[in-house]
C-alpha cells in the first residue's frame, strides 16, 4: 500500500503526542508505520514548536525533544514554493501554512479537528479530513499491520 501523504495540524499532533491514552493516540503508530507519510514545512514545524512552549503544558526542553523525536523523524520536510500557492480564505492566519503545504504537495488530505478549517472541506481547493475520517479510512490497514 502506498502511504497516505498527510498534513497534520498542530492540535492533532499535540493530542497524539501529549495524551498517550487519548482519542488520537492511535495516530502515533499510524505515522510510524508505512501507512502514513506526514508532511511538514518550516512554518508548520515552527508552529508546533511555539505551541509546545505554552506554560499550560509544563514541558521541559528534554520533554519537548522527546515528543518531537516521536514525530519529526517520520515526517518529510517540504519547502513551500515562493510564491506560495493560493489557498482558500481562512479566519485564522496561523492555519494558512497548513493549507499551503497541503496544496503545494498535493497531499492526500489535511487532518484537522479545527472547525474553521473543517468548514473549508466543502470547497474543492483542498482535501480536509477530521481525525475520525482518517481512522475509518486506515482501520483496515491498521488491522493488517
Indicate yes or no: pTM above 0.85: yes
Residue 90: name the closest of 108, 109, 124, 114 by CA. 114
**Dihedral over Cα of 21, 131, 94, 66: its sign:** positive
Domains of the chain, first to last: 4-144 (3.40.50.1010)
- State the number of CA atoms in the 13 A half-sphere of 74 facing the CB: 24
Place of cell 488491522: 143
Q: Which residues on neighbouring strands pair with residue 6, listed in sequence order?
A: 38, 109
Per-residue pLDDT of the chain (145 residues; tens, 9 = 90+): 689 999 999 999 999 999 988 899 999 999 998 889 999 999 999 999 999 999 999 999 999 999 999 999 999 999 998 887 877 777 778 888 999 999 999 999 999 998 888 888 767 678 999 999 999 988 765 544 4
Amino acid at each position: 500500500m502506498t502511504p497516505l501523504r498527510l498534513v497534520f495540524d498542530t492540535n492533532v499532533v499535540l493530542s497524539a503526542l501529549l495524551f498517550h491514552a487519548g482519542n488520537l493516540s492511535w495516530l502515533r503508530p499510524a505515522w510510524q508505520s508505512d501507512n502514513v507519510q506526514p508532511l511538514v514545512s518550516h512554518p508548520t514545524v515552527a508552529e508546533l514548536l511555539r505551541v509546545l512552549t505554552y506554560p499550560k503544558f509544563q514541558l521541559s526542553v528534554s520533554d519537548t525533544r522527546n515528543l518531537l523525536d516521536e514525530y519529526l523523524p517520520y515526517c518529510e520536510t517540504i519547502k513551500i514554493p515562493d510564491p506560495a500557492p493560493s489557498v482558500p480564505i481562512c479566519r485564522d492566519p496561523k492555519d494558512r501554512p497548513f493549507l499551503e503545504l497541503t496544496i503545494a504537495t498535493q497531499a492526500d488530505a489535511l487532518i484537522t479537528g479545527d472547525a474553521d478549517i473543517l468548514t473549508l472541506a466543502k470547497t474543492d481547493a483542498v482535501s480536509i479530513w477530521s481525525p475520525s475520517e482518517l481512522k475509518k479510512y486506515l482501520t483496515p490497514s491498521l488491522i493488517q499491520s
